[in-house]
């Protein structure tokens, strides 16, 4: 289906392709299964063939990334944490919201600056940024830097590889798999440390109560 969609895209007028790429990058945030990175790399290939303009493609995809991020930011800010925990949506599940909140507690603004590099967590990160009522100017700057760097990498790779642009997709797939494993391991390690710290605090509390009981006796 993807190959067929790309073949159809190649035959469209340039203006339609630009609009399509812009909308796909926005929708990638709202509906995470949409392969926005794949379409963007193919757009870079079309730049190499002379069909599209490099600067126009870069600006539109970066604006699309920011549009998708800010839409979810305002959605999170408007509805709040309790709404998403209660609804437990498929793409914004209760577990994802709580896990992303844990990441925010640990990494803060750095997580937003890396959001475009975290394909599996982009949407949740922008949503939680809104739920957390983070300062708009700060998160906008961090998200913009993230989008600009990631889009440069993807578009450059697609442009220079030309007809072998599919190789970029293989690299992205392996990269995303590694990032997912790292995030899962980091999250589990964080939970283990928190559980261990909680057990230690409870142990100290029991120790104090025992000591007080002895003194009272």
pLDDT band at residue 23, thresholds of 50, 70 and 90? very high
pLDDT for 56 equals 93
**Tell me: the pLDDT tens digits for 84-121?**
777 777 667 777 777 777 777 777 788 888 888 877 67
pLDDT band at residue 69, thresholds of 50, 70 and 90? very high
pLDDT for 213 equals 55
d(CA 24, CA 32): 11
Mean pLDDT of 194-215: 61
CA atoms 32, 141, 144, 180: torsion sign: negative
Mean pLDDT, all residues of the chain: 77
8 A C-beta contact, residue 47 and residue 159? yes
Q: Is the pTM of this model over 0.85?
A: no
Domain ranges of the chain: 2-216
């Amino acid at each position: 289906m993807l190959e067929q969609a790309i073949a159809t895209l190649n035959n469209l007028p340039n203006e339609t392709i630009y609009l399509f790429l812009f909308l796909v990058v926005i929708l990638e945030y709202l509906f995470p299964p949409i392969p926005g990175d794949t379409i963007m790399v193919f757009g870079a290939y079309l730049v190499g063939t002379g069909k599209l303009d490099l600067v126009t493609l870069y600006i539109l995809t970066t604006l699309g990334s920011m549009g998708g991020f800010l839409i979810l930011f305002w959605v999170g800010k408007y509805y709040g944490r309790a709404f998403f925990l209660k609804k437990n949506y498929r793409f914004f599940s209760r577990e994802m919201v709580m896990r992303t909140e844990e990441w925010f507690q640990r990494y803060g603004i750095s997580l937003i600056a890396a959001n475009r590099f975290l394909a599996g967590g982009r949407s949740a990160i922008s949503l939680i940024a809104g739920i957390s009522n983070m300062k708009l100017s700060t998160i906008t700057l961090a998200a913009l830097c993230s989008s600009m760097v990631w889009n440069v990498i993807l578009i450059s790779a697609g442009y220079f590889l030309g007809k072998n642009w599919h190789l970029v997709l293989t690299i992205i797939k392996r990269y995303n798999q590694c990032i997912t494993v790292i995030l899962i391991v980091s999250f589990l390690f964080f939970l283990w440390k928190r559980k261990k710290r909680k057990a230690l605090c409870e142990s100290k509390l029991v120790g104090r109560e025992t000591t007080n009981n002895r003194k009272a006796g």
